[in-house]
Structure 1
Amino acid sequence: MAKIKKGDLVQVITGAAQARGGDRGKQGRVIEVLVEQNRVVVEGINFVTKHVRVGQTQRGSKTGGIETHEAPIHISNVALVDPETKKPTRVGHRVDQVTKDGVTKSVRVRYAKKSGKDL
């Protein structure tokens, strides 16, 4: 079961500090999870500059120039944020009993473990 999913609030726990122009300590929502590469794209984190070749659309307007967008970051460099304390935390799984249409079923559910001082 995945520890981090699309839409989760995560915090960057490694890398350069914000005072040095890095992203460590910043929080953002997960836009995309790249499972094969073990990477996630986080909103507002790890901006890169991309040069796009100038072209034309069918209407005749010019496209291209310099664009900035979020690049993937390794999944080990982010931690899920506990919704109660707003601090990074570890993720656990537990088995809950779910009853639907009179049928009881065991389902694994994610939960935020107790967050420490700073993770």
Structure 2
Amino acid sequence: MANIKKGDLVQVISGPTQARGGDRGKQGKVIEVLKAEDRVVVEGVNFVTKHVRVGQTQRGTKTGGIETHEAPIHVSNVQLVDPKSKKPTRVGFREDKVTKDGVTKTVRVRYAKKSGEDL
């Protein structure tokens, strides 16, 4: 079961600080999870510039130039943010009983463990 999923709020926990031009400490939503490469794409983090060749659409408008977009970051460099304290926290799993149509099923559920000051 995955610790981080699409739509989660995460914080970058490694790399250069923001004062040095890096992304450590930034928070953003997960746009995409690349499971095979163990990477995630986070909104507003790890921008790269891409040079796109000039072309034309069918209407005749020009496309291309220099674009910036988010690049993937390794999943070990981000940490899930606790929704209550808005601080990075570890992820735990517990088994809950779910009853649907008279059938009781055991499912695994993610939850945010206590973060630093909440202990």
Give runs of aligned pairs for residues 64-103 of structure 1, distance below 5 A.
64-103=64-103
Deviation at 1:71, TM superposition (A): 0.2
Task: Determine if the alignment matches structure 1 residue 21 to structure 2 residue 21.
Answer: yes
- The alpha carbon displacement at 1:60 in A equals 1.2
Structure 1 counterpart of 2:44: 44
Calculate the aligned-residue CA RMSD, in Å: 0.6
1:116 positional shift: 1.5
How far apart, CA to CA, are the structure 1 residues paired with 2:68 and 2:109? Answer: 36
Q: Percent identity?
A: 83
Secondary structure in structure 2 of the residue aligned to 1:88: coil
Figure out how many residues of one structure are paired with residues of the other and give that number. Answer: 117
SS in structure 2 of the partner of residue 89 of structure 1? coil
Q: CA deviation at 1:23?
A: 0.4
The one-letter code matched in structure 2 to 1:44 is: G
Bigger mean CA deviation after superposition, 3-12 or 56-65: 56-65
- State TM-score, norm by structure 2: 0.97
Q: Deviation of residue 61 (structure 1)?
A: 1.1
The whole-number CA distance in structure 2 between the counterparts of 1:71 and 1:3 is 20
| 1:62 is the counterpart of 2:62 | yes
TM-score norm. by structure 1 comes to 0.97
User: What code does the residue aligned with 1:48 have?
Assistant: V
Per-residue Cα deviation, 1:41-100 (whole angstroms, up to 9, x for no partner): 000000000000001111111110000000000000000000011000000000000011
- Measured against aligned partners, the alpha-carbon deviations of 1:1-37 in whole angstroms (never above 9, x if no partner) come to 0000000000000000000110000000000000000
**Alignment partner, residue 112 of structure 1:** 112
C-alpha separation in 2, matches of 1:107 and 1:60? 54
Aligned residue identity for 1:107: V
Instruction: Show structure 2 runs of 5+ residues with no match.
Output: none
SS of residue in 1 equivalent to 2:76: helix
Q: Once the 2 structures are TM-superposed, how far is the Cα of residue 115 of structure 1 from its aligned partner?
A: 0.8
